[in-house]
Amino acid sequence: MKEILEKPLKVEGATASQAGAGPSYPPIERRSSTFDPKVLQRVLDGDHVEIRNWVKQLITQPEFRYYDGNDMAVQRRQVVDWTKRIADAGIGRIFMPRSVGGEESVPKFMAAFETLAFHDISLVIKLGVQFGLFAGSIQQLGSEYHHQKYLPGAAAAKLMGCFAMTEIGHGSNVQALETTAVYDRASDCFILHSPTYFAGKNFIGNAADDGRFATVFAQLEVGGQKHGVHAFVVPIRDEKGNPFPGVTIEDNGLKMGLNGIDNGRIWFDHVSVPRGEMLNRFANVTVHGQYRSEFQSQTVRFFAMIGTLVSGRISMASAANSAAKSALTIAIRYAARRRQFGAPKASQETLLLDYPAHQRRLCPLLANVFALDFALKYLIEQKETVRTGSSRPLETLAAGLKAFTTWNTTHTIQTCREACGGEGYLAVNRLSTLKADTDICTTFEGDNTVLMQLVARNLLSDFKDKLKEMRPAQMAGFFIDQRLTAIAQRIPTFTLNIVEGHLRDAGFHLMMLRLRETTTLLSTARKFRCLTGRKKIEPYVAFTRMQRELLELAHAHVERVILERFAQTISTVQSSAVRQALRRLCDLFALSRIELHKGWYLEQGSLTGWKSQAITRTVDKLCQEVRQDAVQLVDSFGIPDSCLAAPIAL
């Protein structure tokens, strides 16, 4: 990679198809901005600007022009060609161990991945499957033997692989997978088997056409004893592309989007896998046929194993946020050139972006993608501090941000499509492709609703652990403090304060979001304790009854974390002009969330109707202020025109 970066590619002029050349639109109106977008871009690019620029140079080459047809086979072949081109550039080696020629830099790889998501999302998912899931699972779950055997070929895209976890009958509930791996002492092999149709591995990228190996998750059984889910490297095709005996593969076929990915189903019929092909970082079967693990509990070992794979959720969220940035760039640039209606005596019609309703649609979403950008960068930093085993805080943050970000992307792209009217419906303007290709993100790498329940369960567990560590006097003081804080936020001097300085104060914003999180946590914990204590209900049943409360708690927690990271990032920005622009976006993000949940705050007595109306007026004003910089804000994303490929945005 170093040698390649020292000889940067020349960025050729995009072809008409690639850059979306077509009808001549009015110029984009760029009003005098309060900041330099290139300075803000340096803030967004962070420490890995070199790899970001390299990726942009690569994906703007003529061979990366988009495929405009509907032939799924052609699209798949193009995505494979792109994948090999990117592998040749060395991007697949960035996060891998130095022992196989890698750089062991997850943040650098994430920066490359996030930038690649400005291009074709099928390509991004293909790379995620090949490098992140297949190679990543071998790196994280295997030993040096597996690293040396598989990772060099995987990084070069010469050994294509799958990640076979999800089954037709089991997705989120990985611990209940049906595929079995029974150790046979006589042959010193594991016998992998799909006992039912529903045990078939489903929606597996690289399975239908390209994958020769798969990391397969199955229930391990040794000497008649069951040890839970473990991972195995299993060959599924020979070099000519023919499935091995006992391996049945079906193509998932045409999908709503991402048709450049060869998703498929896989079944195993008593397939023998040598003992050494079990990924044995957390458990092993010895040459004597004995199961060994440093973990005494199956559950603890399982979550340690799953915890190492959290990068998939982080990369999915980063890619989704890049797609949302692309959609907003298209919609905001179009709104800054498209005119509609106007005052009777006006010399020209009014720009769409000057309508308050249009600002209300797009500006809060613009604030969201900036807020999420900084939160995701913080998540990647936290990932680097957790090198081994599982980490509940990291798992909680990754699950919550993945869900929040991908939901936001789905909403953002739909809103941008509507904001562009009929032009947004045209395939040439790319919003339809962005919508189709990112829709799966809300259930990919974990269903968002299930992930948010996981967030809430972890928060309750952390709260329980915190209370256990407190002495009785400390515990009493904690609950008194919470009660006094809630009372203070209901007194008239607070609930009737509508001074703009107060409403736009960062301390007020954080206090309100923390109030919602803490109050929801305490009420949820009390209800859970009541159900499992006095009413003697099993914890699983209690959690099932409380799903509404759990989801509300998770959303409150994630919003508070995002706001804190946004505020923290602003404090580190050197340019005062950029800091002011980000402060407006941060205020808009915070007040938009408070406005969204004003019903809750009104119920709690933390807002009055008078103050609620003042917050709405302040959001309106912030949208007007952000509108002045909106074009420059999307310019700061640094998305090449050939990647946008939307004539209305060029």
Reported as a single tens digit per residue, the pLDDT across 200-232 is: 999 999 999 999 999 999 999 999 999 999 999
Closest by alpha carbon to 305, among 156, 110, 174, 489? 174
Does residue 306 sit within a domain? no
Tokens for 576, please give them: 């005062």
The predicted structure's pLDDT at residue 3: 47
Which residues lie below 8 Å from residue 305, measured CB to CB, with a gap of 6+?
141, 229, 230, 231, 281, 282
3-state SS assignment for residue 550: helix
Instruction: Report the sign of the C-alpha dihedral through residues 313, 315, 318, 322, in that order.
Output: negative
- Could you report the per-residue pLDDT of 69-85, keeping only the tens digit for each? 899 999 999 999 999 99
How many Å separate Cα 25 from the centre of its chain? Answer: 34
Whether the pLDDT of residue 12 is over 60: the answer is no
Q: How far apart are CA 122 and CA 105, in angstroms?
A: 24
Contacts of 77 (CB under 8 A, 6+ apart): none
Question: Residue 94's Cα: distance from chain center in Å?
Answer: 20
pLDDT 10s digits, 389-425:
458 889 999 999 999 999 999 999 999 999 999 999 9
Same domain, residue pair 216 and 151:
no
**pLDDT, mean of residues 39-65:** 96
The identity of residue 188, as a single letter, is D
How, if at all, do strands 213-222 and 180-184 pair?
parallel
Non-local CB neighbours of 11 within 8 Å, separated by 6+ positions: 56, 57, 60, 61, 640
Burial-class residue 414 by CB neighbours within 10 Å (0-12, 13-18, 19+).
middle
Look at residue 228 in the predicted model and tell me its pLDDT.
Answer: 95
CA dihedral 93, 99, 103, 109 (to 10 degrees): 40
123-132, 153-162, 527-536: which range is least confident on average?
527-536
**What is the Cα–Cα distance from 418 to 432, expressed in whole angstroms?**
11
pTM summary value: 0.93
Do 68 and 201 fall within a single domain?
no
Q: Which of 330, 328, 337, 354 is nearest to 27 (CA)?
A: 337
587-635 pLDDT, tens digit per residue, is: 999 999 999 999 999 999 999 999 999 999 999 999 999 999 999 999 9
- Please report, for the domain that includes residue 227, its CATH number: 2.40.110.10
Cα distances from 26 to residues 37, 336, 337, 649, in angstroms, run 22, 9, 6, 11
At 68, which CATH number?
1.10.540.10
In terms of Cα–Cα distance, which of 263, 210, 273 is closest to 241?
A: 210
pLDDT band at 475 (very low <50, low <70, confident <90, very high): low
| Beta carbons of 308 and 140 less than 8 angstroms apart | yes
More confident residue, 135 or 344: 135
Q: What is the pLDDT of residue 14?
A: 39
Choose between 346 and 648: higher pLDDT: 648
Q: Is the pLDDT of residue 482 over 80?
A: no
Looking at residue 389, what is its pLDDT?
Answer: 47
Who contacts 123 (Cβ-Cβ below 8 Å, separation ≥6)? 79, 82, 83, 86, 116, 260
Q: Which distant-in-sequence residues (6+ apart) come within 8 Å of 303 by Cβ?
A: 390, 395
pLDDT for the residue 484: 63
Instruction: Give tens-digit pLDDT for 40-52.
Output: 999 999 999 999 9
Instruction: Check whether residue 180 and residue 38 sit in a common domain.
Output: no
Write the DSSP assignment of 399-419 as a string of letters.
HHHHHHHHHHHHHHHHHHHHH
- Burial letters for 512-540: b for 16+ Cβ neighbours within 10 Å, e otherwise? bbbbbbbbbbbebbeebeebeeeeebeee
Q: 40: closest CA among 575, 630, 565?
A: 575
Domain assignment of residue 304, yes or no: no
Within a 10 A sphere around the Cβ of 308, how many other Cβ atoms? 21
Q: How many helices (H) and strands (E) does the chain have?
A: 26, 13
In a domain, 305, yes or no: no
One domain, residues 6 and 120: yes
The domain tally of the chain equals: 3
Pairing relationship of beta strands 225-235 and 213-222 according to DSSP bridges: antiparallel
Of the candidates 96, 127, 159, which is a domain's last residue? 159
Are residues 547 and 601 both part of a single domain? yes
If asked whether residues 141 and 175 sit together in one domain, one would say no
Q: Provide the 3-class DSSP secondary structure of residue 266.
A: strand
* Res. 513 pLDDT band, cuts 50 70 90: very high
Domain that holds residue 111: 2-159
In a domain, 302, yes or no: no
pLDDT given for residue 309 in this prediction: 80
What is the rounded end-to-end Cα distance, in angstroms, of the chain?
31
- Phi and psi of 266, rounded to 5°? -135, 130
Residues 604, 623, single domain; the answer is yes
* Cβ–Cβ < 8 Å for 372, 401: yes
Query: How far is residue 36's CA from residue 563's CA, in Å, rounded to a whole number?
Result: 24
Query: Which of 159, 185, 214 delimits the end of a domain?
Result: 159
Do 252 and 376 fall within a single domain? no
Can you give the CATH number for the domain in which 409 is found? 1.20.140.10
The CA angle 375-381-383, to the nearest 5 degrees, is 105
Q: Does 591 map to a domain?
A: yes
pLDDT band, very low/low/confident/very high, at 13 (cuts 50, 70, 90): very low
Radius of gyration over every alpha carbon of the chain, rounded to an integer in angstroms: 26
- For strand 213-222 and strand 161-164, is the pairing parallel, antiparallel, or unpaired? parallel
Same domain? 70 vs 206: no
**612, 469: one domain:** yes
For residue 126, being part of any structural domain is answered with yes
d(CA 447, CA 646): 31
CB 402 within 8 A of CB 445: yes
Q: How do residues 227-285 score in pLDDT, each as one tens digit?
A: 999 999 999 999 999 999 999 999 999 999 999 999 999 999 999 999 999 999 999 99
Taking the C-alpha atoms of residue 177 and residue 561, their distance in angstroms, rounded to an integer, is 33
Chain centroid to CA 494: 37
Q: What is the DSSP letter of 193?
A: E
pLDDT band at 311 (very low <50, low <70, confident <90, very high): confident
- Give the rounded percent of residues in the chain with a pLDDT score beyond 70: 93
Q: Which residues of 156-187 are buried (b: 16+ CB within 10 A; e: fewer)?
A: ebebbbbbbbbbbebbeebeebbbbbbbeeee
Count CA within 13 A, CB hemisphere, residue 37: 16
Mapped onto helix, strand or coil, the DSSP state of residue 393 is helix
Residue 201 lies in a domain: yes
Are 83 and 126 spatial neighbours (Cβ–Cβ below 8 Å)? yes
**623 close to 632: Cβ distance less than 8 angstroms:** no
Q: What is the pLDDT of residue 458?
A: 93
Contact predicate 229/201, CB 8 Å: no
Given the structure tokens 């409380």, which residue do they identify? Answer: 546
In a domain, 22, yes or no: yes
Nearest Cα residue to 190 out of 300, 123, 270: 270
- In this prediction, residue 25 carries a pLDDT of 87
Same domain flag for 290 and 207: yes
Average pLDDT value over all residues in the chain: 91
- pLDDT above 50: residue 11: no
Residues 354 and 319 in one domain: yes
pLDDT score of 494: 81
